Structure 1
Amino acid sequence: MHEIPSDVNRLIDFESLGSNCEFGFVQRHAGVEPGGLLRWAISPPQALAECIRNSFESIYKFENLFPSAPRMVKDNGSGLAFHTRMYSTDGNFDISDLEERKKIWIEESGKVFYLRDKLNSLLSSGEKTFVYKRNEGISRADLGNIGAAISERGPGRLLYVELDPDRKPGSVYRYGDNILIGVIDAFAPYSAANNASYDVWNEILSNAADL
């Protein structure tokens, strides 16, 4: 296990916004296991910004959940995707009975709504730096939109991590009032999100904490 810089407070000062679970594995690799709504979720940038603005009020309604992957559901109400025990095969739920599937949803939704309330509280307080990355990158317009959505909710800031061949991996620079951009050398593939560049992630987090 790699050593986490002490000034990063063992990653507790950072909260994942997605877009997949790579940063969740960075935390796990360091022995840090914070519960987070989006730590293991898929969150496309435009859907994420809208969810932040509306306090995630529309997420995880039973009638909006459809198979996305064998162990994930797409939430058509929010545009996000979540891990689930409502397993599916070839785009069809393994449990066809609606009431049986709803029993699983009731158990899962309690945790989802608890983590939603926790994230809303963090957005209001601004006590965390919110981390977002996407392997294929996002436009500067989408980046600004997410940053603006965060600033509308409270004093929090966004650390966006991207590939940039013109900058040193591990470096972090300011972009706008509440946005930091960190530079990674490589993202983990979506099929193996735990294969992260842990040392460079740690350098990014340390530099972000300094800023």
Structure 2
Amino acid sequence: MDLQPSLDHALDDGELLLQFESIGDNCELGLVQRRVGVEPLGLLRFAGAPLRHLLRALHARFAGIAEPHHVRLQPENGEYMVKLTKYDFTHHTHVQIGAMEPVALHRQQCRTIGFLAGKLVGDLEAPSKILVFRQNEPLSAADLVDLRIALSVYGPSVLLWVQEARPGHPPGTVDVADERLLVGYVRRLADRDDVPDLDMESWLAMLRNAHGLWRRAQAGGVALGDFAAGQLARTELTFGQEGNAACHLGYGWSGPEAGYTWSIGERSLLTIENPADADTYWLEMDVMPFVSPPLLPRQRLDVVIGGTLVHSFDPLARGEVGCLVPGHLIAGRTEVAIILDHPYAASPVLVAGGQDDRRLGVAFTRIALICT
């Protein structure tokens, strides 16, 4: 029986998350899976597996990982954790202290770890899922090469390396590096000390885009690398005297200045061309809010499209900010009207002194609408 979904079958979140398997370095993907209601079996799903330790285990085919003297129970935050000393992994048992006798739990964990290790080796040799790796620290080129070599010994797995979003790589998007490597972007990686505080929205968008690329390559009989040259469709406006935004501005704007334009009053309107129809978009802005403590400590910026509040930045940070925009608000339109509400706009003459009596809200340097 073919367990792979057909290309024309729209996966729900649970089905989608079953197409991925974690290979490190913590349980962030495992928690995303749990939140959509699926509980796949996986050795590294709820494990702490630092990369260098993972590489040792991969090279040894996880030999000896479940030997009783390498499986140690240790109480932590009310739960029994397992220390897998052969490769220096930690593993959640999800058994509360006092809920089970330690001797019985140890026997159970030895059997479970042995089964999961064998299952992982089998899954790596006959890959049917996308492997997911993330780590908070920067991943060196040498470490990435070592990981890919170690995985390639088993079989032709596709690796999804998850990173934090950055300029040019909005949350939810996926880059194709080559036929065996995808790079996905989430708004932020969860802190090591608080993994449950993850960004679910961008994880789901990123995983859906990664899986879509993978399925299209399979259905078309082509390598993932054939998608590598593709660029995200985008429309970009630059502000200021040398920019191209002037003819796109409606009410609520001051005149262009050197490199930026101020929004004035409580509301501004701009129109921007739709780069292409997409399921979701990323709206990216370079901004400088007008603040003057203590009378004006912050600015708020609300983004409204089609009468829908898309996102509220409160307080609005200086620099690059962005938000996801649902595709149905934009798709099918040639131009998109974006209303920017900045209710804390104020005159420098009143809050900071000086001669400028404009009610300044936010100075804009750039706005980009990007298909994801």
Q: Same fold (TM over 0.5)?
A: yes
Paired position in structure 2 for 1:24? 30
Structure 1's unaligned 5+ residue stretches are 89-93, 95-99
Q: Which residue of 1 aligns with 2:118?
A: 117
1:181 counterpart (180, 183, 203): 183
Given that residues 159 and 182 in structure 2 are in contact (C-alpha distance below 8 angstroms), is that contact kept between their aligned partners in structure 1? yes
Given residue 145 of structure 1, which amino acid in structure 2 is its aligned partner?
D
8 Å CA contact 1:10–1:30 kept in 2: the answer is no
CA deviations 1:79-101 (Å, max 9, x no partner) are 2111248999xxxxx9xxxxx85
Whether contact under 8 Å (2:42, 2:116) holds in the other structure is yes
Higher helix share: 1
Structure 1 pair 108–67 and aligned structure 2 pair: CA distance change class (3 A): closer
| Native 8 Å contact 1:18 1:40 kept in 2 | no
Worse overlay, 201-210 or 67-76: 67-76
8 Å Cα contact 2:173-2:206 kept in structure 1:
yes
The 8 Å contact of residues 71 and 106 in structure 2, kept in 1 or not, is answered as: no
Query: CA 1:69–1:134 in 2, change beyond 3 Å: closer, same or farther?
Result: farther
8 Å CA contact retained: 1:20, 1:42: yes
Unaligned 5+ runs, structure 2: 1-9, 214-372
Aligned residue among 206, 209, 212 for 1:207? 209
Letter in 2 for 1:74: K
> Is the CA contact 1:163–1:186 (under 8 Å) kept in the aligned structure 2?
yes
Whether the 8 Å CA contact 2:124–2:157 is kept in 1: the answer is yes
Instruction: Determine if contact 1:52/1:150 at 8 Å carries over to the other structure.
Output: yes
Q: Out of 34, 41, 47, which is 2:53 matched to?
A: 47
Q: Secondary structure at the match of 2:193?
A: helix
TM-score normalised according to structure 2 size: 0.48
1:68 Cα deviation (Å)?
6.5
Query: What's the secondary structure of 1:78's corresponding residue?
Result: coil
Please state how far the C-alpha of 1:176 moved relative to its aligned partner.
4.3
Q: 1:78 — aligned with what?
A: 87
Aligned partner of 2:239 in structure 1 is none
The alpha carbon displacement at 1:164 in A equals 4.3
CA–CA separation in structure 1 for the residues paired with 2:179 and 2:64: 29
Q: How many positions carry a matched residue from both structures?
A: 197
| Helix, strand or coil at the partner of 1:170 | coil
| Larger RCO (CA under 8 A, 6+ residues apart) | 1
Per-residue displacement from partner, 1:157-200 (whole Å, max 9, x unpaired)? 11110124232121111234422111111122223322211110
Q: CA deviation at 1:30?
A: 1.1
Specify the SS of the correspondent of 1:127: coil
Task: Tell me whether 118-127 or 56-65 shows the greater mean CA deviation.
Answer: 56-65
The separation in 2 between residues aligned to 1:168 and 1:140, in whole angstroms, is 22
Deviations 1:16-41 (A, max 9, x none): 11211111010111111101111000
- 2:39 maps to which of 30, 33, 44: 33
Q: Which has the larger radius of gyration?
A: 2
CA deviations on 1:76-130 (whole Å, 9 max, x unpaired) are 3112111248999xxxxx9xxxxx8554321111111111111111100011111
**One-letter amino acid of the structure 2 residue matched with residue 78 of structure 1:** Y
Q: Supply the RMSD in Å over aligned alpha carbons.
A: 2.5
- Which SS does the other structure have where 2:65 is aligned? coil
> Which residue of structure 2 aligns with residue 97 of structure 1?
none
* Distance (whole Å) between structure 2 residues aligned to residue 18 and residue 34 of structure 1: 15
SS at match of 1:192: coil
Q: Which amino acid aligns with 1:80?
A: F
> Is residue 174–residue 184 contact of structure 2 (8 Å, CA) maintained in 1?
yes
Distance across 2 between alignment mates of 1:207 and 1:12 = 15
- The yes-or-no answer on 1:6 pairing with 2:11 is yes
Whether the 8 Å CA contact 1:73–1:84 is kept in 2: the answer is: yes
